[in-house]
């Protein structure tokens, strides 16, 4: 070990600069690399591998990758960086449309694809700022933070969209970790079941040799998510699906549905291990229907066929929709009332709330509002994160 770490000093400054450039490129591409990994990498390069630079690749890959997606990207970035084409090509390569998740291309449409082929990372950031995200300035923060505050409908660049998806997945993971932790912390430890212990001890003349433990049964928070996948929501649903996929993973009893003109049960597809594939399967399901949204009717289907199985006293129903209903508003109101009786809370997330001057004037939205406990915006990642404290209280 010491031989590996000692010789850092011997390593040329040039090599060190080159390596840190490589690490920067990797970080730009979503790798999480800390100082310890850097130090180990330097050790490896100056130590046992120094005689054979061709052996850098597997060593650095083992050190710097931490998940399968990293593993898949690594070779491409490595080649681009070390074979002399430099950093620019490495970033550009991952920004190229064919690397963009296929589920997203439909959402992104034709716009922006051509540009991203030629633009590099920094330039694109500035473009976006000038043209589309005019109102949300960078505020001196990093690129990711801007993304968190950017309305999803401004994300036309596949690279940014992919980054937003990654952010959504990460946000979901950290949120899920905190929520499950809180749930666990509440039921503290094992307790002795005195009654049964004493009963058992009779056989041993009253000495409690066998200790019987008792665990409090806990009824975890159950989430049921109904996601609007109609035409008017198409810009948001892809990111939401990715987010939901991450959140639902933790809640073993969670159920997810999407609806447009009908209701589709998507939990099995969402349980797909690979988030990208899940999104793809989902967009396949949603395809070909488009057009209007019949929220009332879809809720009716849910109440009739699924509610009994899905809901209990510690359930929270989250509806993600802009509230543009093509069905009669009375029906929506009635179904909302029926739903209200069955669950603990109803949260309605509406991407439009994030827009300036938004007033809930769609007839459907107005009819539903009296039965909604939380009416919150969901137009960017920051607003998604903001619903966590609400869920934690239930």
Partner 1 sequence: MAITLPQDQVAGEMAAVGYVPDRDLATALWLMNSLKRPLLLEGEAGVGKTEVARALALARDTRLIRLQCYEGLDQSSALYEWNYQRQLLAIKAREGQHGLNADQVEEQIFSEKYLLERPLLAAIRQSKPPVLLIDEIDRADEEFEAFLLELLSDFQVSIPELGTISALTIPMVILTSNGTRELSDALRRRCLYHYVDFPDIDREARIIVSRLPHIDAALALQIASMVNLIRKEELRKAPGIAETLDWAATLAGLDIRVLRDEPEAVFETLMCLIKTAEDKTRMTRQVSDRLLGKVA
Tokens of 283: 């967009």
Which residue from 22, 29, 40, 151 is in contact with partner 1, where contact means CB under 8 A?
40
- CA geometry: angle at 241 spanning 227 and 383, to 5°? 80
Shortest CA distance to 116 belongs to which of 107, 108, 124?
A: 124
Tokens of 346: 């109803």
Q: Would you say 302 and 340 are in contact if contact means Cβ atoms under 8 Å apart?
A: no
Q: Which is nearer to partner 1, 148 or 343 (CB)?
A: 148
Sign of CA dihedral 322, 324, 330, 332: negative
Q: Where are the beta strands (DSSP E) in the chain?
A: 191-192, 213-214, 222-228, 255-259, 263-265, 315-320, 345-350, 374-377
Shortest CA distance to 126 belongs to which of 109, 144, 145, 143?
A: 143
Min dist CB 48 to partner 1, Å, is: 5
Min dist CB 56 to partner 1, Å, is: 10
Phi, psi of 269 (to 5 degrees): -70, -35
Distance of alpha carbon 307 from alpha carbon 354, whole angstroms: 30
Q: Which is nearer to partner 1, 65 or 352 (CB)?
A: 65
Restricted to residues 213-272, the positions that interact with partner 1 (CB under 8 A) are 246, 249
Which residue from 62, 106, 122, 203 is in contact with partner 1, where contact means CB under 8 A?
62
Which residue from 11, 16, 18, 61 is in contact with partner 1, where contact means CB under 8 A?
61
User: Which of the 8 DSSP states describes residue 227?
Assistant: E
Restricted to residues 113-142, the positions that interact with partner 1 (CB under 8 A) are none
Q: Would you say 225 and 257 are in contact if contact means Cβ atoms under 8 Å apart?
A: yes
392 binds partner 1 (CB under 8 A): no
53 binds partner 1 (CB under 8 A): no
Which residue from 11, 38, 48, 93 is in contact with partner 1, where contact means CB under 8 A?
48
58 binds partner 1 (CB under 8 A): yes
Q: Which is nearer to partner 1, 219 or 262 (CB)?
A: 219
Min dist CB 177 to partner 1, Å, is: 6
Which residue from 66, 102, 123, 131 is in contact with partner 1, where contact means CB under 8 A?
66
Size of the site for partner 1 (CB under 8 A): 38
Q: Residue 123: which region, alpha, beta or left (left: phi > 0; alpha: psi -120 to 50)?
A: alpha
Provide the terminal-to-terminal Cα distance of the chain, rounded to the nearest Å.
Answer: 50
Min dist CB 180 to partner 1, Å, is: 6
Min dist CB 37 to partner 1, Å, is: 8
Min dist CB 288 to partner 1, Å, is: 23
Shortest CA distance to 286 belongs to which of 155, 106, 115?
A: 106
Distance of alpha carbon 149 from alpha carbon 164, whole angstroms: 10
Q: Which stretch binds partner 1 (CB under 8 A): 30-38, 91-99, 104-112, 228-236?
A: 30-38
Sign of CA dihedral 310, 311, 316, 318: positive
Min dist CB 197 to partner 1, Å, is: 11
Q: Which is nearer to partner 1, 189 or 288 (CB)?
A: 189
Which residue from 11, 38, 59, 363 is in contact with partner 1, where contact means CB under 8 A?
59
Distance of alpha carbon 282 from alpha carbon 101, whole angstroms: 13
34 binds partner 1 (CB under 8 A): yes
Neighbours of 6 (CB within 10 A): 12
180 binds partner 1 (CB under 8 A): yes
Q: Which is nearer to partner 1, 129 or 249 (CB)?
A: 249
Distance of alpha carbon 88 from alpha carbon 271, whole angstroms: 37
Min dist CB 33 to partner 1, Å, is: 8
Q: Which are the contacts of 53, defined by CB distance < 8 A and separation ≥ 6?
A: none
Q: Which stretch binds partner 1 (CB under 8 A): 33-41, 115-123, 348-356, 363-371?
A: 33-41
Which residue from 141, 209, 284, 392 is in contact with partner 1, where contact means CB under 8 A?
209
Q: Residues in the site for partner 1, rule: CB under 8 A?
A: 1, 4, 32, 34, 37, 40, 43-44, 48-49, 51-52, 55, 58-59, 61-63, 65-68, 70-71, 170, 173, 177, 180-181, 184, 207-211, 246, 249, 273
């Amino acid at each position: 070990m010491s031989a590996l770490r000692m010789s850092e000093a011997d390593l040329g400054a040039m090599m060190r600069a080159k390596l840190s450039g490589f690490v920067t490129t990797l970080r730009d591409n979503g790798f999480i690399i800390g100082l310890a990994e850097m130090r180990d990498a330097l050790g490896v390069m100056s130590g046992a591998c120094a005689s054979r630079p061709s052996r850098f690749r597997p060593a650095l890959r083992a050190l710097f990758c931490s998940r399968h997606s990293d593993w898949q990207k690594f070779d491409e970035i490595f080649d681009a960086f070390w074979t002399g084409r430099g950093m620019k090509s490495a970033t550009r390569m991952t920004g190229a449309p064919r690397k963009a998740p296929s589920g997203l291309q439909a959402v992104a449409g034709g716009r922006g694809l051509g540009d991203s082929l030629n633009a590099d990372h920094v330039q694109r950031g500035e473009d976006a700022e000038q043209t589309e995200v005019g109102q949300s300035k960078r505020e001196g923060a990093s690129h990711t933070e801007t993304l968190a505050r950017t309305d999803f409908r401004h994300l036309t660049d596949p690279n940014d969209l992919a980054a937003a998806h990654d952010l959504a997945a990460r946000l979901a993971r950290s949120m899920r970790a905190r929520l499950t932790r809180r749930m666990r912390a509440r039921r503290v430890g094992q307790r002795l079941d005195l009654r049964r212990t004493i009963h058992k001890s009779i056989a041993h003349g009253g000495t409690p040799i066998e200790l019987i433990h008792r665990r409090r049964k806990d009824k975890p928070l159950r989430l049921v998510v109904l996601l609007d996948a109609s035409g008017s929501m198409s810009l948001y649903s892809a990111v939401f699906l990715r987010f939901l996929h991450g959140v639902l993973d933790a809640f073993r009893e969670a159920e997810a549905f999407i609806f447009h003109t009908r209701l589709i049960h998507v939990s099995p597809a969402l349980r797909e291990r690979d988030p990208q594939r899940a999104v793809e399967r989902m967009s396949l399901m949603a395809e070909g229907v488009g057009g209007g949204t019949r929220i009332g009717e879809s809720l009716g289907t849910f109440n009739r066929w699924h509610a009994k199985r899905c809901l209990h006293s510690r359930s929270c129903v989250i509806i993600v929709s802009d509230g543009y209903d093509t069905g009669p508003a009375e029906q929506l109101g009635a179904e909302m009332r029926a739903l209200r009786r069955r669950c603990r809370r109803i949260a309605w997330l509406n991407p439009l709330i994030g827009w300036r001057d938004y007033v809930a004037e769609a007839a459907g939205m107005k009819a539903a509002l009296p039965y909604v406990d939380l009416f919150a915006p969901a137009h960017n990642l920051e607003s998604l994160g903001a619903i966590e404290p609400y869920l934690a209280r239930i």
